[in-house]
Amino acid sequence: MQPSSPRPSNHIKEEVTLAVANLWVSYQARRGTVKAVRDVSFDLRLGETMAFIGESGCGKTTLGLGLIRLLPKTARIERGSVTYTRNGIATSVLEMDSEALRAFRWKECAMIFQGAQNAFNPVLRIRDQVWDTARAHGETNRERVRARVLELFRLVSLDPDRVMNSYPHELSGGMRQRVLLALGLLLDPQLIILDEPTTALDILTQRSVIEVLRSLRNQLDFSLMMISHDLSLAAELADRVGTMYAGCLVEVADVYDTYYHPYHPYTIGLIRAVPTLTGERRDLISIPGTPPDLIDPPTGCAFHPRCPYASDRCREEQPELETVGTRHQVACWNWQAVLADRGARLIMVAGQE
């Protein structure tokens, strides 16, 4: 599951496609306000793939929905800014009116949802839903759309003619997922958000979706934001990984660093919680305790009740993301202690051998 080596990153441009700054999203629930996304900031560059990992309920999906402002009625974006840039023209997503937002969705930013099982209108053929999408964004030439879709369907290894004339229920789950993926590429968006793209798929279909994503990323020019609790998927596809905990981004690092030099105790816990297939023996420990209550989150660092390194400072003061290495940010008061500890353990392991 580990990235074999730092991936060559020459496909990543310097231009920032999406800049998110201090974003807060909360839900109105019966018991009180659920602070689902708390002060999240990150930059996504053109051509870059960034994975967001974390336990379920940590705010990953809310973050994704918030970026295209498709949150449920009970949710509200409290603060922050989301800036989208294409060809040097920057627009603020949060200030768009409904028509601009409608045009932005899918044409600029396509979100592929988790569990695409019910992503399609059951009473319309795929070709009509494709045409609906194209027409909504000003396309008038049916033939041009058709040609483009056939090409995309081949790209995701689907039989174009058969799929086009099918109703959603006539396709398998994996096929539907790939149709949605192809549909996501239809308008050449510059940003694609993938929410749990492989859950609810069987292992073989997962494999083929991953292969498709990998080859697409190399062939086409877009930024990819991937939301997943599946660390192996992130390891295979991402350039950078953001770890989320209790609505906060607690660590952002290149994929290689995330897996081999994580600084945040939570990231370490997440990685250790995954068994490896390579035969390397590691302590398979899961993180003790339960995910925090987002209505009344713990004071200070939200992770402190479950953290082995927790100190008094952690209980009182919330750490901010700070840059600790090349393109490596972490929000932890004790990251140096974590680092020292890991060094000691590495020496210990080496000593045993």
Nearest distance in Å: CB 164, other proteins: 15
Nearest distance in Å: CB 181, other proteins: 12
Interatomic CA distance for residues 319 and 330, integer angstroms: 9
The residues near 241 (Cβ < 8 Å, ≥ 6 apart) are 50, 51, 52, 53, 234, 251, 252, 253, 254, 255, 258
Looking at the Cβ atoms of 180 and 235, the one nearer to other proteins is 180
Nearest distance in Å: CB 65, other proteins: 9
Three-state SS at 113: coil
Task: Give the residues lining the site for other proteins (CB under 8 A).
Answer: 68, 70, 102-107, 110-111, 113, 115-124, 132-133, 136-137, 167, 169-170, 180, 183
Nearest distance in Å: CB 79, other proteins: 23
Looking at the Cβ atoms of 114 and 267, the one nearer to other proteins is 114
Looking at the Cβ atoms of 121 and 290, the one nearer to other proteins is 121
Burial class (CB in 10 A: 0-12, 13-18, 19+), 108: buried
Q: 10 Å Cβ neighbour count for 96?
A: 17
Looking at the Cβ atoms of 183 and 252, the one nearer to other proteins is 183
Nearest distance in Å: CB 239, other proteins: 24
Interatomic CA distance for residues 55 and 59, integer angstroms: 9
What region does 222 belong to: left with phi over 0, alpha with psi -120 to 50, or beta?
Answer: beta
Task: Determine the residue type at 336.
Answer: Q
Looking at the Cβ atoms of 187 and 231, the one nearer to other proteins is 187
Which helix or strand (DSSP H or E) is residue 126 part of? helix 126-136
For tokens 């840039």, what's the residue?
85
Nearest distance in Å: CB 26, other proteins: 20
User: Could you tell me if 264 and 338 are in contact, meaning their C-beta atoms sit under 8 angstroms apart?
Assistant: yes
Q: Report the length, in residues, of the chain.
A: 353
Looking at the Cβ atoms of 129 and 334, the one nearer to other proteins is 129
Looking at the Cβ atoms of 134 and 248, the one nearer to other proteins is 134
Nearest distance in Å: CB 133, other proteins: 5
